[in-house]
Chains A and B, each alone.
Chain A
Amino acid sequence: MDYSNRRQNILVQFLPAIADWFITAFLLAVATALSSFFFAIMDNPTSNIALIYILAVFLIARFTTGYRFGLCASLFGVVCVNFLFTYPFFELDFTLTGYPITFVAMFTISGITSALTSNMKVQAKLLSERDKMLMEADKEKMRANLLRAISHDLRTPLTSIIGSSTVYLEHGTHLTDKEKNDLVLHILEDSNWLLNMVENLLSVTRINNETAKVNKSLEPVEEVLSEAVIRLRKRLPKAQIQVRVPDDVLMVPMDAVLIEQVLINLIENAVVHSGSTEPVECHVEDGPSEITFRVRDHGIGIPAEKLSTIFDGSSSTTSTSTDGRKGMGIGLSICKTIITAHGGTIKAVNHAAGAEFYFTLPKEDSNIDT
């Protein structure tokens, strides 16, 4: 085990070096071949030949790691030029006029190029590492924010549930029937709210952690939309919702359970927060490359300063929210997560008389799971 591990380490260490040696040998071979060619057809090819070797040395320094390959190559080039292509042929003579200049120039070029490229590679590595760290930090921050928002959002209804049931049990004898009924009703409301929250959180686990992608299959949009509306009506029987779908049958790749959750969140948000009793309009539009779901209410709209951060998940915990419990912070941020994982976009806008949330789903998908 230990031995094979070590062997693997050695392999890992030397494999790139082997590849680098290959690159060096290959480029030098090409350079030599080209030089021979020039040497055969030209009268005074020395300068061209030197240039070709300089080019080869430059490329070797660029595409290998460390200084040694470039330096070896320049040494080889210098000797080659001297030995093969300058008079006297097949003899080394370093006393030729100007030759030391070629020699020094080739070494300098290879040295500087190697230094520059190694530096570049180190820089790139540092940059990518910093990017990674920033992303990790971002993720951590998001996670912490989400947890904070969740605990805040969960604690409030739980407090109410525990409070109501304690009152019922301890002071039940002094309460009127109506008071008792109200207490139980509050418990029911709060637990329903909690359940929806938990389902929201659970739905996120369907998104692949590694790739942030979902399992898509072709679903008719009307089925998803109708199921969302039916489930929401069970919970909010008084909700006024108008639903409309195109006449054509639209089959769109998606994770239906997740999109249903998004629709429920958006419609519930519109019903609860618009402050209007007019029906919430919910319709689907067919486009050339994507379809758009729109949820529109005729209420108070969204404050302009919140429009940009409404999907961040923190809006419910800010002090501007008067009613923290019913804040849709987590719900909306989960919508965003789900839609992004589908490769779509989600937006909130104000229209003349209220707010509109819409999201798109791409129609074509290369990795459909059937």
Chain B
Amino acid sequence: MGMLLGGCASPKQAGLNEGKRFGQTPDTFEAQRDLPPSTRTLYAMADILAAQGKDRDCEFTLKRCIQQEPKFTPAYNKLAELLMRQGRVHEAAGVLSEALRINDTDPILLNNLGMCCLVQRRYGEAVEHFTKAAGQIPESAKFRANLATALALLGRQEESAALLQQVLPEEQAKHNAEVLRKAHEKVISGPTSI
């Protein structure tokens, strides 16, 4: 009992067990203690910083993540989310475009870039990105619904309604189609935000 409790309380002991768990000898684990944090660690830290509202630190951490491992696309997504939250849509679109140069079929990146285009009222481009995202994961209701939104805002109401009917119950689909039709009317009538 004493040993059990002792084991849990001692951080050094816990650390050694951790090393063993990942197939490392205690010596290897000790040697790696002074290494800089891995990309995954930084990425997890960015999550914590974002939850704490420390946006500047979070942005710095994510940029470091990208610098350290440029092919780690989730970091681009998270950075774009942060920038979108701050209203820096243009920068967010830039970050996502950069990530798509690494993996141009990533559906999450495509969907998020589509959202940026939607906010920037570039509906044609939004349709392109949402279509590609839905093509990668055809069963995704989210991607099809986003495509429906972009199509409706382009005035392609029939196509939009058809897509909504694929992913929503009939009544909800009709209601959403009507909301989108009104939004389109607002878009073409003036520069007020939708």
Q: Do A and B bind each other?
A: no
Chain B residues in the interface with A (C-beta under 8 A): none
